Amino acid sequence: MPRGLLALLIVCLPASEVPAAPACTAPRGFEPSGRIESSDVVLLFRTVPASIEVGRHFSVEVIVCVEPPAAVATGLRVDAQMPEHRHGMNYRPRVVRGGEGGYVAEGFLFHMPGRWQLLFDVERGGRTDRLSTDIVLE
């Protein structure tokens, strides 16, 4: 099937056939800087510090909301890569589970400017869903 036709079919699906993402609200005091969603997973996240600098460590705080029946995420892995350069970071982040569906991933360091992708692997009900977002450092 030609790529343009596939895109047209996706755009023309009735709204009733497109699954809605689950509702997801941040706990009091958590101001997310980003939101990523699929049909049944929503991630709210922020980096600490809020402004990422080349060569400086940072962490990523994440709230995971999952649509029933698998209403609880059983795990989260967070990593980063530079797709154009085909490499990741020189560090392996460590993810710690917090309360209320929250996680903290520590140990990030972007060692060069350019487009980075934050990768979130949400584990639940025997499957893993990958969500990602781009961050561009100059």
pLDDT digits (tens, 9 = 90+) for 49-101: 999 999 999 999 999 998 776 667 889 999 999 999 999 998 899 999 987 76
Beta carbons within 10 angstroms of residue 100's beta carbon: 10
Residue 69, token pair as written in the block = 């029946």
Reported as a single tens digit per residue, the pLDDT across 4-26 is: 433 333 333 344 444 566 788 89
Per CATH, domain 20-137 is 3.40.50.1820: no
* The pLDDT value given to residue 3: 43
User: Alpha helices, DSSP H only, in 38-120?
Assistant: none
* The pLDDT value given to residue 16: 44
Domain spans of the chain, in order of start: 20-137
Mean pLDDT (whole number) for 37-46: 92
Residue 132, token pair as written in the block = 């990602």
How far, in Å, CA of 95 to CA of 107, rounded? Answer: 9
How far, in Å, CA of 3 to CA of 52, rounded? Answer: 36
Residue 138, token pair as written in the block = 């100059």
Mean pLDDT (whole number) for 41-46: 95
